[in-house]
Amino acid sequence: MSNVPNRCPLTAVEAIDTIEKLAGLFPAYRRAHAKGIGFDAKFSPNGCAAPYTTASHLLHQDTSAIVRFSHSTSNPNPTEQLVSVKGMAVQFQLPEGKVTNLTMVTIPVFITKTPEEFIQLLQLFTSDKRLFSQKLSTLKNNPNFHAAFTILKNIIPPKSFGTGHYYSIHAYYLINDQKQQQAVKFEWEPIVESKNQTENTSLFTNRNALEDDLLNRLKDGPVRFKLLIQLAQPGDSIDDSTQKWPDTREKICIGTLSILGRRADNAESQVFDPTIVPDGILCSDDPVLHFRAKAYAESAKRRQNSL
């Protein structure tokens, strides 16, 4: 099984150039998820991952983490309620200065199977002057865009970063000490347990509603999430991020993330590359997953060059 596929002719430079052309150029910001807010956090594993992986941060000891919540748009000043997809990127701080990342969003699957199709979709929605309903009809009739059609038709934006449910989209392999592999997808499930988890009522009156809401929740203590792994079974698609696994697949809670306090640097220098994994975890051959590493690096380089 190859770990790094080589089947994607689109280059990261071409992809980022296209995003800048179609979505606008904001040099000092990320080319996607430009607006965000960063926090310090702590991950506390519960030991339930031990049968599946040797990854130390998922086993027994607490691990410090950096968390960034964000809006998926390239615009650093969006109208938040109009940006349906939200992100939650977590960087675990491992020994010897190493890191690993879980980069998740509030939709369970990606909108296209390949990077090329993603750029085509972006071109359709930014260059095509037809009504939104007409664009949806185009997606519905194109088999390459069925996942995008389903998501755009049914998506409901979360009313709080703290109560959103976040999905890794891509599958990974967990590897245990017997070298056995188990394909999984990760999820962050919010823990709703106190008054600081009430619904955000200022969403349509405040341009920073989700950021302010999360800061208000932290006044009453940490905002917490369970880390879940969903276990694949034979026949489940591992390398196609547009395919959702059946809801009947077993899910196991392997630990708890506690959001502790806002970072002064807002986590702006972090690159949350989802392909950086430690021993005990292996990336699937999903082409979108591996392309994200190249695109993130290109975006980070351009941000740095603009400073």
Contact between residue 238 and residue 232 where contact means Cβ atoms under 8 Å apart: yes
pLDDT of 3 above 70: no
Burial of 7 (0-12, 13-18, 19+ CB in 10 A): exposed
Within-domain flag for 4: no
Within-domain flag for 5: no
Within-domain flag for 1: no
Question: Can you tell me the distance from the alpha carbon of 159 to that of 172, in angstroms, rounded to the nearest whole number?
Answer: 29
Within-domain flag for 2: no
Q: How many domains does the chain have?
A: 1
pLDDT band, very low/low/confident/very high, at 127 (cuts 50, 70, 90):
low
Contact between residue 104 and residue 167 where contact means Cβ atoms under 8 Å apart: yes
pLDDT of 136 above 70: no
Tell me the pLDDT of the chain averaged across its residues.
88
- Read off the amino acid at residue 67: V
Output the pLDDT for position 227.
98
Within-domain flag for 248: yes
Per-residue CA distances from 90 to 132, 159, 167 (Å): 33, 20, 12
Within-domain flag for 210: yes
- Identify the CATH number of the domain in which residue 257 sits: 2.40.180.10
pLDDT of 158 above 50: yes
Within-domain flag for 7: no
Residues spanned by the domain of 231: 12-58+67-103+112-306
Output the pLDDT for position 194.
58
Q: How many CB atoms lie within 10 A of CB 123?
A: 13
Residue with tokens 């359709």: 124
pLDDT tens profile 91-108: 999 999 999 999 999 999
Output the pLDDT for position 205.
56
Q: What is the mean pLDDT of residues 124-139?
A: 67
pLDDT tens profile 213-255: 999 999 999 999 999 999 999 999 999 999 999 999 999 999 9
Q: Which two tokens stand for residue 88?
A: 């939650």
pLDDT of 2 above 80: no
For the ranges 27-41, 96-110, 190-204, 265-279, which has the lowest average pLDDT? Answer: 190-204
Question: Can you tell me the distance from the alpha carbon of 286 to that of 239, in angstroms, rounded to the nearest whole number?
Answer: 4
pLDDT band, very low/low/confident/very high, at 129 (cuts 50, 70, 90):
low
Q: Which two tokens stand for residue 224?
A: 């917490």
pLDDT of 67 above 90: yes
- pLDDT over 70, % of the chain: 88
Within-domain flag for 238: yes
